[in-house]
Chain A
Amino acid sequence: MPYQNVKQLRTDVLIVGGGGAGITAAISSAKNGADVLIASKGKVGNSGNTIMIGGSYAMDGESAYHDYGIKEADPKLTKKVLFDSIINDGFHISDQNLVEQFVEESPWIVNEVRLWAEKAGQKFKFGKPATWAMSGRAMGRALYQGLIDSDNIDFLEDVMVVELIKKNDTIIGAIAIDIYSGEMIEINSKSVVLGTGGFQPFSLKNTNSDMTGDGIAMAFRAGAKVADMEFLLFLLTALEPNEIKGSIMPVYFTFFDFKYKVTDRDGNEVVIPPELKAIEGKSELCKLIDLYYYGKVVSEGKGTENDGVYFDFSDSTDEEINSMFEGLMDYYSNFYKKGYYHADSVETYRDIILKNRRIKVSMGNEYTLGGIVINEKMETSLKGLYAAGECTSGTFGANRVADAVVEMMVQGYRAGVTAAEYAKGATFKENREMSKKIVETYLSYFDNSGGISAAIANIELENISDKAIHFLRNENDLNNAIIAYEKLEEKLKSVSLHSKSKAYNFEWISAIQAKNRLQCAKLAAIMAKERKESRGLHLRSDFPMVDNERYLIRQMAELLEGQIVITSRSPIVTSYDLPIGQQKDYFSYILEHEMGLENLLYNEQGESV
């Protein structure tokens, strides 16, 4: 293969990802004197999970009231309350230095982005304590405004970075593919920031299709540490009608106090014990209760197809149902065309409920807590490599309560500063041998024949994940899944493309994404198997206790001489004392640690996604 066909680019700081983490990193890098290049798999400001936001973002009320002069803000939600709640509701395995960075640095960037939104003419609706609700597109446009107001930032759009280039343990650039032309690109850079988002290994999708764990997987392959992969956040997600499948509209039923019963496939009510039901509406931990009880229905084989339950409205009259939806549509009309949530018809959804008196709903994976290990400066374990946003781990421990939207921008901005500082003292380096090998590997996909197709590989991956790393896990399913993932890894080595054309060859892109998703899903299964307890979003039917004696730890994975090595360590503590080691029943633990904030953290109509 003649290497002359590979396009050569050079930049001080390469930012991978065109969502909120990448954009804020680009802005701060440029501000700190670096020449910046963003490589985004989609459009910058119009891709990734940033545009899927269906809710809000927030700062603490104390900063809003005192530092930003927002008199409607509620200063009772202090920085300390926010800090404590993130650690408490994350089941105490957050790295507290990261939570401090989140709490201390977020008010400024949250306010900055709000100003960009104003300049871009986007509507952000204020709510107490200090929350702004908006649509994902509005957030994308606000961030884009910040970007075009900065100098020295170039973009490569619809370009997928596939591998990092390393020399003597230092990251010195990356190899990418232009998705439209199929051209391969070598980008030489003094530092690299990953803002590539999470991974989504299941068949039910409520995220952008570009959430394939590319950054996490390529950092891992390059030798970076990743952690907490067993913690996957699930959110209520529509299963029907087909055109609305994947919408998170049903999440709003809980904020708007919709009256319904939850039933299994046969119409039997899913009974949640009254003492747990009592904390619904006043604790962020109540989501975990839903996860457990819906998960139990599904794992006992009583769920609907697609692992769902029914929301049953048979006790409500037409008027009551109409009135619930009227309130919801009024609220949505702040951000979307009246009668719609994003472009999904709320009226169609309501009419199905009016007709059938019930609707199938499941929980979809919308966020991954696991990812690349970082410190409070967004440095990874590899020199020259930085990471921000959903592709990182450690801030939210075992369960996220604060905003992923804030995480992306507060970490993005910091990562950009650190990467630009590092670039000042670094020189351009090359590793032509490694670059050539990467290019050859990715072009060799076109030489295979007779192997598995990319489409089937992704479907197989989803089937394994649906069964094993879903809501309620157990040893046997996890063991089987790890074996199945490894078999699929073997098959993927000879993945074959039916079309040999390089122009928009989605089979090629899809095969690469399958490899990345598989890498992440396998690490999730391994860590889920090793964590023989239940904690936060990780629920084990065979180990139902929260075990602070043995598992008040973060699990980390690293590739050493081609082998996955799992280690663990205690979370980093700054000022919040960890609980004394003991085992406790999961729900007693929740009741004991419920902070009684009465949803002070978020207004009832502004949960962020």
Chain B
Amino acid sequence: MILRILRFDSELDQASYYQEYDLPISSEDRFTVMDALNYIFNNLDSSLSFFSHSVCNHGICGRCLMIVDGKPSLACTHILGGEKVVIEPKKGTVIRDLVVK
């Protein structure tokens, strides 16, 4: 599965850009967006930033909201399907990648 993620670092970048990550997972794995982002952070690219510091992982706190294929979704409850998924930050001031304040 390909994750196409909009990236931006307020300290380093002039403009945002998309980066694609190829993950060895399919729909049957029932990965949530959060699982996939953790997979990237742990195995592929630990510079990718997403809400990670106070995560309930069960749709309780509502803080991991992001835009998945154009729709607002909680990363921890949205189950990934299809071949390619586009992930973008929610509205607001982007601090870094998918982290918005």
Nearest A-chain residue to B59, judged by Cβ = A343
Instruction: Flag B39-82 by CB within 8 Å of A: 1 or 0 each.
Output: 00111011101101111111111110000000000101101000
Nearest A-chain residue to B41, judged by Cβ = A455
> A242-B31, A243-B30, A504-B96 given as contacts; is B54 within 8 A of A47 (CB)?
yes
Q: Least Cβ distance of A455 to chain B in Å?
A: 4
Chain B interface residue count, CB cutoff 8 Å, equals: 38
- B-side contacts of A509, CB under 8 Å: 52-53
A47 to B52, CA, bound (A): 12
B60 with A503: CB separation less than 8 A: no
- A-side contacts of B31, CB under 8 Å: 242-243
Q: Least Cβ distance of A506 to chain B in Å?
A: 5
- B-side contacts of A342, CB under 8 Å: 56, 58-60
Q: Which of B31, B52, B54, B79 has the most CB of A within 10 A?
A: B54
A42 with B96: CB separation less than 8 A: no
A449 to B42, CA, bound (A): 17
B47 with A503: CB separation less than 8 A: no
A235 to B50, CA, bound (A): 29
> Which of the residues A136, A158, A205 comes within 8 Å of B60, measured between beta carbons?
A136
Q: Least Cβ distance of A386 to chain B in Å?
A: 23
> A208-B54, A506-B52 given as contacts; is B32 within 8 A of A243 (CB)?
yes
Q: Least Cβ distance of A524 to chain B in Å?
A: 23
A209 to B57, CA, bound (A): 8
B60 with A504: CB separation less than 8 A: no
Nearest B-chain residue to A136, judged by Cβ = B60
The reply on A210 being an interface residue by CB < 8 A is yes
Near B by CB (< 8 A), chain A positions 496-517 give 497-499, 501-507, 509-510
Q: Least Cβ distance of B87 to chain A in Å?
A: 16
A441 to B92, CA, bound (A): 33
> Which of the residues B9, B45, B49, B59 comes within 8 Å of A344, measured between beta carbons?
B59
B96 with A501: CB separation less than 8 A: yes
B46 with A454: CB separation less than 8 A: yes
The reply on A589 being an interface residue by CB < 8 A is no
Q: Least Cβ distance of A291 to chain B in Å?
A: 23
A158 with B53: CB separation less than 8 A: yes
Near B by CB (< 8 A), chain A positions 415-461 give 453-456, 459
Q: Which of B9, B35, B47 has the most CB of A within 10 A?
A: B47
Number of A-B contacts (CB under 8 A): 117
The reply on A196 being an interface residue by CB < 8 A is no
Nearest A-chain residue to B74, judged by Cβ = A343
A241 to B30, CA, bound (A): 7
- A-side contacts of B99, CB under 8 Å: 180, 504
Nearest B-chain residue to A160, judged by Cβ = B53
- B-side contacts of A344, CB under 8 Å: 58-59
> A46-B61, A51-B60, A505-B49 given as contacts; is B55 within 8 A of A208 (CB)?
yes
A42 with B54: CB separation less than 8 A: yes
B52 with A510: CB separation less than 8 A: yes
B58 with A501: CB separation less than 8 A: no
- A-side contacts of B101, CB under 8 Å: 180
- B-side contacts of A502, CB under 8 Å: 11
- A-side contacts of B85, CB under 8 Å: none
Q: Least Cβ distance of A568 to chain B in Å?
A: 35
- B-side contacts of A459, CB under 8 Å: 42
A505 to B56, CA, bound (A): 19
The reply on A179 being an interface residue by CB < 8 A is yes
Nearest B-chain residue to A158, judged by Cβ = B53
A48 to B54, CA, bound (A): 7
The reply on A414 being an interface residue by CB < 8 A is no
- The interface residues of chain A, by DSSP majority, are classed as loop
Q: Least Cβ distance of B97 to chain A in Å?
A: 8
- B-side contacts of A137, CB under 8 Å: 60-61
Q: Which of A43, A210, A242 has the most CB of B within 10 A?
A: A242
> Which of the residues B49, B63, B76 comes within 8 Å of A506, measured between beta carbons?
B49
A501 to B96, CA, bound (A): 9
The reply on A52 being an interface residue by CB < 8 A is yes
Nearest A-chain residue to B101, judged by Cβ = A180
Nearest A-chain residue to B57, judged by Cβ = A246
B55 with A43: CB separation less than 8 A: no
The reply on A470 being an interface residue by CB < 8 A is no
- A-side contacts of B47, CB under 8 Å: 498-499, 501, 507
A453 with B59: CB separation less than 8 A: no
B9 with A209: CB separation less than 8 A: no
B52 with A43: CB separation less than 8 A: no
The reply on B95 being an interface residue by CB < 8 A is yes
B41 with A343: CB separation less than 8 A: no
Q: Least Cβ distance of A112 to chain B in Å?
A: 24
- A-side contacts of B77, CB under 8 Å: 243, 343
- A-side contacts of B53, CB under 8 Å: 41-42, 158, 160, 179, 209-210, 506, 509
B42 with A455: CB separation less than 8 A: yes
B49 with A46: CB separation less than 8 A: no
> A48-B54, A209-B55, A503-B96 given as contacts; is B60 within 8 A of A43 (CB)?
no
> Which of the residues B10, B56, B74 comes within 8 Å of A51, measured between beta carbons?
B56
> A42-B54, A242-B30 given as contacts; is B46 within 8 A of A503 (CB)?
no
Q: List 6 A-B contacts (CB under 8 A).
A: A205-B57, A209-B55, A242-B30, A343-B76, A501-B47, A503-B10
Interface residues of B (CB under 8 A from A): 9-12, 29-32, 35, 41-43, 45-47, 49-50, 52-63, 74, 76-77, 79, 95-97, 99, 101
| Given A47-B61, A343-B60, 15 new contacts (CB under 8 A) | A52-B60, A136-B60, A137-B60, A158-B53, A181-B95, A208-B57, A209-B56, A243-B79, A342-B56, A499-B46, A499-B47, A501-B11, A501-B12, A503-B96, A504-B96
Interface residues of A (CB under 8 A from B): 41-43, 46-48, 51-52, 135-137, 158, 160, 179-181, 205, 208-210, 241-243, 246-247, 342-344, 453-456, 459, 497-499, 501-507, 509-510
Top 5 closest pairs, chain A to chain B, by CB: A343-B59, A42-B54, A499-B47, A209-B55, A242-B30
